[in-house]
Amino acid sequence: MITIEIQGLPSWSALRARVAQQLTHALRPLGDAPVRAKVTFVDGDGPKHGVRIRCALTVRLPHRPVVRVEQLSDTPTRAFRGSFATLERQLKKYRERRTERRRRPKKYYVAKRLLAEGLPPDLVGRPRRAVPEDG
């Protein structure tokens, strides 16, 4: 389940729909775990009416640290594109680490497999040593 909260854009904005669509597409491969994302657009210059728009993306994954990226630009669209590109790179690293961690068997898994293959339990826990040959 993916929950996306968008702040700082009007509800009728086309950018709002595109932000929701792209985030949903990017977060879907992370699995069925509940994922929450928050997108915030803030005018960086405040009442001066400058050209600095900040887009901050925050993604909360279960049992993992929060992923947060920001980008400053002159338009909300450019700010979102920049922050979204950074977020995609970080999520790609997260998926690669998760896949790599799953590929390496844990020691208890290996021991269980050895027992299932019929080795005596006393050989499973000890390292094997070379037996000296009688000459």
pLDDT of res. 12: 85
What are the backbone dihedrals phi and psi of residue 59, each rounded to the nearest 5 degrees, phi first? -120, 125
- CA atoms of 62 and 68, how far apart (whole Å): 15
- pLDDT tens digits for 81-122? 999 999 999 988 888 887 777 766 666 666 777 777 766 656
- pLDDT tens digits for 57-86? 999 988 888 999 999 998 899 999 999 999
- pLDDT tens digits for 7-65? 988 888 898 999 999 998 988 887 767 789 999 999 877 666 666 889 999 999 888 88
Instruction: Give the bridge partners for 73, in sequence order.
Output: 53
Q: Which of 112, 55, 105 is nearest to 85 (CA)?
A: 55
Residue 132 belongs to a domain: no
What are the angstrom distances between the C-alpha of 27 and each of 18, 58, 84, 88? 14, 12, 11, 9
* Sole residue written with tokens 């389940």: 1
Mean pLDDT over the full length of the chain: 81
Tell me which H or E stretch contains 73. strand 67-73
Residue 130 belongs to a domain: no
Structure tokens at 36: 């929450």
* Largest Cα–Cα separation, the chain: 93
Residue 133 belongs to a domain: no
Segments forming the whole domain that contains residue 80: 2-121
Residue 111 belongs to a domain: yes
Entry pTM: 0.69
pLDDT of res. 48: 67
> Domain tally for the chain?
1
Domain CATH for 69: 3.30.160.100
pLDDT of res. 69: 95
